[in-house]
Chains A and B, each alone.
Chain A
Amino acid sequence: MLSTHWSLFSLVIVSASLVIIYLWYDRKAGSTKEIALIATLAAFAGLSRVPFAAIPSLQPTTFLVLISGYVFGAGPGFMVGSLAAFVSNLFLGHGPWTPWQMMAWGLVGLSGGILGRWKWKYANLSLLILSFMWGLFFGWILNIWHWLTFVYPLTLKSFIAVQLTSIWFDLIHASGNVFFMYFLGADLIKILHRFKRRLTVSSLSVQELERS
């Protein structure tokens, strides 16, 4: 039989996981400031798709989502990425790519969060490598659905052929990410850390207050 059920199955899987993650976020109550912060970061990442539109797939969105996840954690990182994809598509037009973009950018934020939690000595280097890898992975994730829906047979050979059609764009994306990460990464992470410190609430016990 043809691959028609795989195509629907993959769409259902992706949409269902997005729904579950959004439901989880909805139940996990954050403060109003946190909501506003996530919305602003997502808008920032989404908007940054536009000014560099002259060169296809050169945009700082992936990089911005990655560092937001790196600073604020995996959950907010996922939300920033998926929201940026969804909302910027309200302006650029929705398509079958919307759930996949939401998923891919969400995963970018998630991986940034994991890297941030896992305090490693070579954080800058690993961010650079991760941003390069995501440039390629992002295109591959977006190609999966086209491969599942319109190509037969579903073999490694045809998968590689589909990925080769977009390799040029993916390479531009990856090197753009490295470029942004190299020139802007440290500065923007510093700014984000500053706002994270302002968000963090630490409670002191009464005795400690009286002592001071």
Chain B
Amino acid sequence: MYVFERKEIFFQTLHPVTLLLYILIMMIGTILTTNPFILMGFMTAVVFALIVAKSFKTWIRSLRMYGYMVIMLMTINLFINNMGATVLWVGPVVPVFGRISISLEAIIFGLVMGLRLFIIYSLFIFYNRVMDPDKALSVFSKVFPKSALLVALTTKTIPYMSQQLQSASEIQQCRGLQYYTGNHISRIKNRLPLIKVLLFSSLEDSFNLGESMQARAYGSGPRSCYYPLSFGGRDILVSFSSTMALLALVWSRMLGWTEITFYPKLGTSLTSKQHLYMIIVIGIFMILPVLVAWGWEKWDYLKLKI
């Protein structure tokens, strides 16, 4: 039921702040970039990271779900836009949208946007795989102690409540309500009273919970913590390389190297030799943590040292 599983993965052993920094910088980089070469660097980094995190299969499976979204956006871009100079096909006039025309620029734009969407979705699959919600919450609780408690309480209530829902529905079935036979409407109608039963009993439980929290002296002193989070050599390495990538990204953004012009005519995505070097530098700093993760798994010496 829970998305997160604890496994022997390098990224899961990192400090949550480091991990967040790495993922956030890749995310911001993707949002701020339209240069296809930089985007391909990010894509490579994410795909290798997913392979090292042993969730390549999950990624492939979820691609089908996200494919719909990508295709939708690409189609919209294709039809909505008639600013491209290289027109390939001129279609009929549609009432609200005007004359539909497909240009080469719009196709390239759609492809680049599809790539960006893919990277962002893949990043989140990676995030869901490696970020331990417990650890993230313990960092979060330093800033928002009460809200963190709320999140923890809500999270613990969900599995408990789904058990209660199960047993309540079994009781109702024993009394003769049909949940799995009959037409759709009667099935849904039979399920509706369950919501009432569940709400009533769980709110009753919540009052008991509140009283027991008070009885255990909640809020009467400073917070205790379950386990300390260590910030070690591997964290320094990953944070360093993400920060360097961020600096390189900011620098190339200031030089105008992260974006290309699409309309009316496609701009060049590689302006000079320095631009190429910069892209390589960004790519290296994004892929370095993945390489370390791979080495950590294969090379015991490295595992011992960091």
Partners in one complex: yes
B34 touches A4 (CB 8 A): yes
| Chain A neighbourhood of B4, CB < 8 A | 90
Complex CA distance for A92 and B117, rounded to whole angstroms = 19
B151 touches A87 (CB 8 A): yes
State the interface size on chain A (CB cutoff 8 A): 66
Query: Is B107 an interface residue, CB under 8 A from the partner?
Result: no
Q: Is the interface of B mostly helix, strand, loop or mixed?
A: helix
> By CB atoms of chain B within 10 A, which of A2, A48, A84 has the most?
A2
Query: Is B225 an interface residue, CB under 8 A from the partner?
Result: no
**In the complex, how many residue pairs between chain A and chain B have their CB atoms under 8 Å apart?**
188
- For A36, give its contact among B116, B120, B146, B153 (CB under 8 Å): B153
> Closest Cβ of chain B: how far from A187's Cβ, in Å?
6
| Chain A neighbourhood of B199, CB < 8 A | 44, 188, 191-192
- For A83, give its contact among B81, B113, B120, B150 (CB under 8 Å): B150
Query: Is A113 an interface residue, CB under 8 A from the partner?
Result: no
| Chain B neighbourhood of A37, CB < 8 A | 203, 206-207, 210
Interface 9-residue window, one of A118-126, A131-139, A149-157? A149-157
Query: Is B174 an interface residue, CB under 8 A from the partner?
Result: no
State the interface size on chain B (CB cutoff 8 A): 71
A90 touches B196 (CB 8 A): no
> Closest Cβ of chain A: how far from B59's Cβ, in Å?
12
A1-54 with Cβ < 8 A to chain B: 1-2, 4-5, 7-8, 11, 22-23, 25-26, 29-44, 46-48, 50-51
Complex CA distance for A59 and B32, rounded to whole angstroms = 34
Complex CA distance for A59 and B183, rounded to whole angstroms = 19
A58-86 with Cβ < 8 A to chain B: 60, 79, 83-84, 86
B184-226 with Cβ < 8 A to chain A: 189, 191-192, 195-196, 198-200, 202-203, 205-207, 209-211, 213-214, 218-219
Query: Is A146 an interface residue, CB under 8 A from the partner?
Result: yes
B31 touches A7 (CB 8 A): yes
| Chain A neighbourhood of B128, CB < 8 A | 93-94
Q: Provided the pairs A32-B219, A184-B195 are in contact, do residues A39 and B206 lie with their beta carbons within 8 angstroms?
A: yes
Complex CA distance for A7 and B133, rounded to whole angstroms = 26
Q: Provided the pairs A11-B31, A23-B144, A32-B210 are in contact, do residues A184 and B154 lie with their beta carbons within 8 angstroms?
A: no
B116 touches A150 (CB 8 A): yes
4 tightest Cβ-Cβ pairs between the two chains A and B: A33-B210, A39-B153, A43-B157, A40-B206
A residues apposed to B, CB below 8 Å: 1-2, 4-5, 7-8, 11, 22-23, 25-26, 29-44, 46-48, 50-51, 60, 79, 83-84, 86-88, 90-96, 146, 149-153, 157-158, 160-162, 165, 183-184, 187-188, 191-192, 195, 198
